[in-house]
Amino acid sequence: MNNEIKSVILAAGKGTRMKSDTPKVLHKIFEKPLLGYVLDNVKNIVNESFVIVGHHAEEVKDFVEKNYKSAKTVLQSPQLGTGHAVSMVCPYLKDFQGQVIILCGDTPLIREETIQKFIEYHNTQKSDITVMSTIFDNPTNYGRIIREVNGSLKCIVEEKDATPDEKSVKEVNAGIYCLNWNKIKDAFSQLTSNNAQGEYYLTDIIAWGKKKNLNVNAYILNNNDEIYGINSRKNLAEATKLINERKLAELMDNGVTIVAPSSTWISEDTEIGSDTIIYPATYIEGVNKIGKNCKIGPCAHFRGGVEVDDNCKIGNFVEVKKAKIASNTNVGHLSYIGDAELGSRVNIGAGTITANYNPLTKEKSKTVLKDDVKIGSNTVLVAPVTVEEGANVGALSVITKNVSSWALALTRSPQKVIENWVKKALNK
């Protein structure tokens, strides 16, 4: 066997309980699809991933092809169970001599390090088949891990096929497998559908392996949150909470102050430097990088693609999207900074807007503010536009042309004062 590892990710299901036209695996947490979490957590481990698609296959295929060069989709039609799903990759792996890990596309909390430990256990035990298991006080809806008298793995029984004694077992199938492919691939042409659902179960490869005298083991995962599956909107909300709590704990352990964890939401793809303070009701989604000693919020919203250097302040009710903000820059409250590049020591007055979107052409353009630029409050910067180093823009201006270095740009009308106007209007 060689050291190459490939993954198969099951993503063909409809997700009926989601009550949605969107495929289940494309529902999002912090604007990243569930399937994206799984693919991200295997991309540093495997050489290639196969995503099994079915329901709304073209949408899932489009997401995979646009975002993951080392992954390809394989259609399962009709959908005859999890064992049948994995059999779809057999033509692509007929000469493969390495290991295959199988995961579910609707379990976004599984960690990369967990998968690594799982594979290490498989290798240490010299297993041919290893299934990941975990313990639930309430194991309802999960396949049960059935062990031999001596504690070795015997088989996995789906709940709908389980006897009352088997249903009382609290150790359950986590839905993740590691296989020595060359020894296991024949199983997928020999599975039967003699069960309550008339489907080909992936779990039946355990019993198949036992009959072939292969080395079959189960690896117990201690943190059962990691295999939390998404089947409903309530599950989606709970998974979002779990991912957020995990991220906030990680940030606080690394020196970031989260003033109010109960009202702060930060994506796992966001990096934040030490001594930065995140104030309450801040929501940060997508991929972002925030430097050290910054102050963010309260009530700030990062929409992804944001890079903030050290010693910056992003004020309350500020929305930022696809922007680079250099060090020692302040963005005042009630502002929108989108598709922009801000230099160092820039000051953005309250209520400033980068008008980046042309509704006629549907194009987005860039605003560039060089070092030491000062923008007065309630200014609109109509992109594409560049304000050169050191320039100032007066409050209430609408800037549609480039501004040269160290210049003052103004577009508001001169102030007029009409003496005694009020008294005359009131006839006094």
Give Cβ neighbours of residue 118 (< 8 Å, ≥ 6 apart): 101, 130, 132, 176, 178, 219, 221
Burial 85-96 (b: 16+ CB within 10 A, else e): bbbbbeeebeeb
Per the residue annotation, which of 27, 55, 56, 333 is the catalytic one? 333
Instruction: Of 256, 336, 333, give the one whose Cα is nearest residue 299.
Output: 333
Instruction: Give the Cα separation of 247 and 299 in Å (integer).
Output: 18
Q: In the block, which residue shows the tokens 């998404």?
A: 230
Q: Are 132 and 175 in contact (CB under 8 A)?
A: yes
Would you call 261 helix, strand, or coil by DSSP?
helix
Active site residue 333: yes
- Whether the bond between 414 and the residue before it is cis, its omega within 30 degrees of 0, is no
For residues 159 and 176, give the distance between their C-alpha atoms in angstroms, rounded to a whole number: 17
Angle (CA) 237-240-245 rounded to 5° is 130
Residues 343/389, Cβ–Cβ less than 8 Å: yes
Q: Where in the sequence numbering do the catalytic residues fall?
A: 333
